[in-house]
Structure 1
Amino acid sequence: MDKAAYMYHPDSLKYVFHQNHPFDQRRLTLTRDLLQQVDALSIDQIFVPTELPDHHLLQQVHIPEYIDVVKQLSVEHPATKAMDHAAQYGLHQGDTPYFAGMHQSALSIAAGSVTAAQMVMEGQTTHALHLGGGLHHAMPQKGAGFCIYNDAALAIAHVREAYGARVLYIDTDVHHGDGVEMCFYTDPDVFTYSIHETGKYLFPGTGRVEERGAGEGFGFTVNLPLEPYTEDDSWLECFETTLHQVLERARPDLIISQHGCDAHALDPLSHLHCSMQIYREMPRMIHEAAHQWCEGRWVALGGGGYDIWRVVPRAWSLLWLEMSNHPLLQQIDQEPLLSLPEVWLERWQVESPVDLPRTWLDDVTRWEPIPRRDEITLSNRKICEIAATYLK
């Protein structure tokens, strides 16, 4: 029988750039409270990592100079020399500004993902969820896209070193998983698969279908860049079709998936037009794949998601309900517009600047139709066909 662990480090709540920054860790609290309100998360399922990644593991992903600068910029009043080098390492006053306590909070997030992978590989749990993780844009030499340390890459590096396992990394964030891809671009034992909005109009501007890996890792990278305003049916069609082919090629011992939920139509930082339906169906597909290919070994991480009130709590709760085989999912499947708990709605509506949704899934019949739907669907299919030819 499946056992699922919910990884949580309280210091991850301290990963805060500034008050008005779109990366808002209140989404972790909103999600956990929603799960507890529906009796889907018990104390014995929550694990707090006790060990932080050491310098050896950090250096498997990040260069020593970058780690040192992160530490120097993490104090209350950094030295002028450190501040002068901030932009060089991506820690400027743009999307990833340095802040006090940055190193420790980013390290605690990395600890959650590494510990989750370790617990799964050692058989302590079948599945593990770490919603604080998924900081997939951090590069070996710099921070980027709200990401300081690449916890996903650190978890993969630990699994490779400690267990020699083959890893399939699945990235479903609307933004290309560029940092993880870069870290393992030449490694044939780490297969990276990213489905995202095309970089023609969206950060980080990468993730073309032609990016396939290099050297011994050639053919072990797959990117599926989708057109803006892609909807549920096209997204799910592309994901399901490609996932089966990726699994045949990757043959993983472990699946690590990243679940940024910013492909939703309400997310303010992207242009896809999906509903909560993809966040119900996609975890189910990954869950089935984990049992088919790697004896259930599955680690799921958080990631992007910038409508913290209407989207993130529902999407991430659906992910945990799938991982933990909770019976509430059957109710949602039978009644898609099943109501969210009234206590949760009343508690958080007071703080929310927007009206909270009342149901688990979205009533898309009320949404304005996308006028270019057929054209977008055909374009996405062509991208899938190109990706498929690369997988043969």
Structure 2
Amino acid sequence: MAKSANESTVKRDSVFIYSDELLNYRFSADHPFNQKRLQLTLDLLRDSGFINDEDIIPPRSATDEELALVHDPAYIKAVQLAGRGELSKDKADNFGLGTEDTPVFKNMHEASAMLVGGTLTAVDEVMENRYRHALSLGGGLHHGFRGKASGFCIYNDSSVAIRYMQQKYNARVLYVDTDAHHGDGVQWSFYDDPSSCTLSIHETGRYLFPGTGAVNERGHGKGYGYSFNIPLDAFTEDNSFIEAYEKSFRKVIEFFKPDIILTQNGADAHCLDPLTHLSSTIRTYEEIPRIAHELAHEYCDGRWIAVGGGGYDIWRVVPRAWSRIWMEMTGAVPESDHIPQSWLDKWQGESPVPLMKTWSDPEGVCQEIPRKREISEKNRQTVEKALYPILKIKNKS
């Protein structure tokens, strides 16, 4: 990896990328993808005393040239036209625009480019050695394809960021995705590329969009062996999720030895999420960033960029789960398990459900799963199958 001129002068550990412009990525009032969760998370961190203005820098907008690192220029043009109401329905259909998942909205290009630019802002802050860690929760739109929108995602900020890091910084990037949905758009962007590596831990595609992410999706051509998928059984709970995540992450990073880790932190594997079928609690969302942080320092001199992703219980789950990423990056620890009363008072009137009053989940938040042992054993076997290429190489040596 090319070294920055100021490599020896890291200023601070962590930076948070945010401005209210990120809230403009909004399909409709009743669409499940609701960026209000960004505002709720930041406000929870502020009320907890874990973040202040000097920790935050605003995103910039990604340029058309940067978007074209991954996306077809014709698609970028179509998104621009759609956001101005100038794209016909037939053409929109060809680009996956105007569907139930990705409805057209005003200025959608500008809003989408800002999300990508937020992730690129995080990249430059870390790769220019101004910070060791960066959090850009507006990103994580992992379903976007080269020439098509998909699964609530217009542009794929993680794919653009990986290509940007490869070209500008000559970096080897490990992408780790813990969204309940398979990180298909990122995987296919680098499926034949041995200079990047993707690891996705997700609910099996037998039951959930996008239906991909099987263990035998390992890459193509020179990229074969650099794509790893851990499709977990429905109703997987904390212990099994964390076991699968930690074992696969440790084995893959030891194999690939990246310069930097990019983690996608969808919060939709929680048992309260309305769109998925996994059974994790907030404990999983404490462990995910803890392990990423540890491995970033062990292998990458601390270089770690985290983005958001899915998460559709925006009131009870996402703010607590995403706050844990920033808390891990900065070493913040709550004085007690209680959520600040000021935050509860501020938002309970707007929330359609009773807000959680504690950082941890209350006892019994998830229903007991009768097949827990069977599911856990099946997941262990899935991890072994997914890691077989690595284990085979290691055993030979």
SS at match of 1:387: helix
Residue segments in structure 2 that go unaligned for 5+ positions in a row:
1-9, 392-397
Instruction: Report if the CA contact (8 A) 2:228-2:387 is conserved.
Output: no
Residue 286 (str. 1) matches residue 292 (str. 2): yes
Offset at residue 92 of structure 1 (A) = 2.2
Distance 1:366 1:155, change over 3 A: closer
Q: Which residue of 1 aligns with 2:370?
A: 371
Residue segments in structure 1 that go unaligned for 5+ positions in a row:
333-337
Offset at residue 9 of structure 1 (A) = 3.2
User: In the aligned structure 2, how far is the partner of 1:269 from the partner of 1:236?
Assistant: 20
User: Of 143, 146, 171, which aligns to 2:152?
Assistant: 146
Q: Which residue of 1 aligns with 2:350?
A: 351
- Structure 2 residue identity aligned to 1:10: D
User: In the aligned structure 2, how far is the partner of 1:56 from the partner of 1:235?
Assistant: 38
Residue 54 (str. 1) matches residue 53 (str. 2): no
Offset at residue 83 of structure 1 (A) = 2.8
User: In the aligned structure 2, how far is the partner of 1:240 from the partner of 1:366?
Assistant: 24
Alpha-carbon deviations, 1:239-291, whole Å to 9, x = none?
11111110111101010000000000000000000000000011000000000
Offset at residue 174 of structure 1 (A) = 0.3
- Structure 2 residue identity aligned to 1:201: Y
Residue 303 (str. 1) matches residue 283 (str. 2): no
Q: Which residue of 2 aligns with 1:276?
A: 282
Matches within 5 A, 1:37-76: 37-50=47-60, 52-75=61-84
SS at match of 2:218: coil
Alpha-carbon deviations, 1:9-43, whole Å to 9, x = none?
32210110011000011111110110000111110
- Structure 1 residue identity aligned to 2:98: H
Alpha-carbon deviations, 1:321-353, whole Å to 9, x = none?
00111133xx56xxxxx1111111111110011
Alpha-carbon deviations, 1:157-197, whole Å to 9, x = none?
11000010000000010000000011111111110000000
Instruction: Report if the CA contact (8 A) 1:62-1:141 is conserved.
Output: yes
Residue 26 (str. 1) matches residue 26 (str. 2): no
User: In the aligned structure 1, how far is the partner of 2:300 from the partner of 2:309?
Assistant: 23
- Structure 2 residue identity aligned to 1:289: L
User: In the aligned structure 2, how far is the partner of 1:83 from the partner of 1:119?
Assistant: 40
Q: TM-score, normalised by structure 2?
A: 0.94
User: In the aligned structure 2, how far is the partner of 1:344 from the partner of 1:271?
Assistant: 29
User: Of 321, 330, 334, which aligns to 1:315?
Assistant: 321
Q: TM-score, normalised by structure 1?
A: 0.95
Where in structure 1 do 4 or more consecutive aligned residues deviate above 4 Å?
none
Q: Which residue of 2 aligns with 1:129?
A: 135
SS at match of 1:3: strand
Q: Alignment length, in residue pairs?
A: 381
User: Of 96, 112, 115, which aligns to 2:102?
Assistant: 96
Task: Give the superposed CA RMSD.
Answer: 1.2
